[in-house]
Structure 1
Amino acid sequence: MPSPCDPQYAPVGDVGLVLMMIDSRLKGIHDGKTETDAEQQVLIRQFTESMGPNGADDVLDGACTLIFMFMTWLRKVHEEHGKDVIEYVVPNLVASMRMMPKSMPTEVIPSMAGLVVSAGIGLSPNLWRGQYGDWTDEEMTPLEATAFLLAEHINRIADDPDFATRMITEALTDAEEN
């Protein structure tokens, strides 16, 4: 019997918008910028404002889908080397989160770690999180930061600053073609 948190039951959301946000942050960090480019912030704000009533849910679902896709890739890479993705990714991720107190309040770290663990064991992060009620405002930035940290981790493993973005873009293109 499949789990109610099985990814087949999860909405995909707006992965493209979330990927654009993550890519912008990654490029900004690698270019030595600590703040998001003002022009990029305007574009993201305009796009977000243009979304319909379900727009915020689409962004949340898209972020969770992205986390799931990143963790699926990480799980496969770790399994190829006889390692457990949870054992190797989650502690480093939590340590990184703890170093970001402005973006990642301590009280949301367990939820973000839970999202990553759920994705790491093949469950839908958004359906897993949905069991515990509505998303809170305090979880919005940490959700984006979690996706960012996973993308950066993947880029470091691949030794390619654009690998995570390219991997997702290719997966989305393949999905559209099929």
Structure 2
Amino acid sequence: MSSPCDPEYAPAGDVGAALMVIDSRLKSIYDGKAAPGPEHQQMVEQFAASLGQVGFDALLDGACTLIYMFMSWLRAACEDHDKDVIEHVVPSLVATMRMMPKTFRPEVIPTMAGLLIAAGTDLSPNLWRAQYGRWTEAEMNPLEATAVLLAEHVNRVSGDDHDFATRLITEALSRSDQI
């Protein structure tokens, strides 16, 4: 039976723009700048403002698509080792979220964990989230940070290849352009 949260019904959004934001954040982390400087934050805010509401919604959908794609890759990797992706990924990411109270206020952690679980059970994170109403401003940084944490987790699982998650998505986008 099909679910209304089935990924086939979800808009992919602007995956390229979302990946650009996530990759930029990953590079700053790997360069030893865990907290982005004010210039970076201003650039991200200007970029988001330039998108308008439709573009911003596409960016949110793109971030959720990244979460779905990363969790799909992790699910396949876990299945190869007879592990459950939710058991393997969600507790460690939630523990990390709890250690970052400026980014993840306690009330947003269940939503971010829900996005991971939705994707881990092959549901669309953005459609799962949509059933609870529009995104709130308080969820914007946590959504970005969740995608970054998940991408970093993919990089670690791949053997500490700092570009693996980005390459995974760009190769998938390249293949989809060829269809």
Bucket of the pairwise TM-score, normalised by the shorter protein: over 0.9
- Identical-residue share of aligned pairs (%): 64
What CA distance in whole angstroms lies between the structure 1 residues aligned with 2:108 and 2:48?
Answer: 24
Secondary structure at the counterpart of residue 54 of structure 1 = helix
Establish whether residue 175 from structure 1 lines up as the match of residue 168 from structure 2. Answer: no
Corresponding residue for residue 164 of structure 1: 165
Corresponding residue for residue 2 of structure 1: 2
Corresponding residue for residue 30 of structure 1: 30
Q: Specify whether residues 42 and 140 from structure 1 end up closer, same or farther in structure 2 by C-alpha distance, changes over 3 A only.
A: closer
Corresponding residue for residue 67 of structure 2: 67
TM-aligned CA deviation for residue 45 of structure 1: 3.9
Q: TM-score, normalised by structure 2?
A: 0.94
Corresponding residue for residue 150 of structure 1: 150
What CA distance in whole angstroms lies between the structure 2 residues aligned with 1:49 and 1:130?
Answer: 22
Q: Give unmatched runs, 5+ long, in structure 2.
A: none
TM-aligned CA deviation for residue 63 of structure 1: 0.6
What CA distance in whole angstroms lies between the structure 1 residues aligned with 2:11 and 2:53?
Answer: 16
RMSD, aligned CA: 1.4
Amino acid at match of 1:149: L
Amino acid at match of 1:25: R
Amino acid at match of 2:51: M
Aligned length: 178
Q: TM-score, normalised by structure 1?
A: 0.94
Corresponding residue for residue 108 of structure 1: 108
TM-aligned CA deviation for residue 52 of structure 1: 3.7
What CA distance in whole angstroms lies between the structure 2 residues aligned with 1:108 and 1:59?
Answer: 19
TM-aligned CA deviation for residue 109 of structure 1: 0.2
Q: Check whether the contact 1:24–1:40 (CA below 8 A) recurs between aligned residues.
A: no
Alignment of 1:13-162 (within 5 A): 13-36=13-36, 40-41=40-41, 43-159=43-159, 160-162=161-163
Q: Give unmatched runs, 5+ long, in structure 1.
A: none
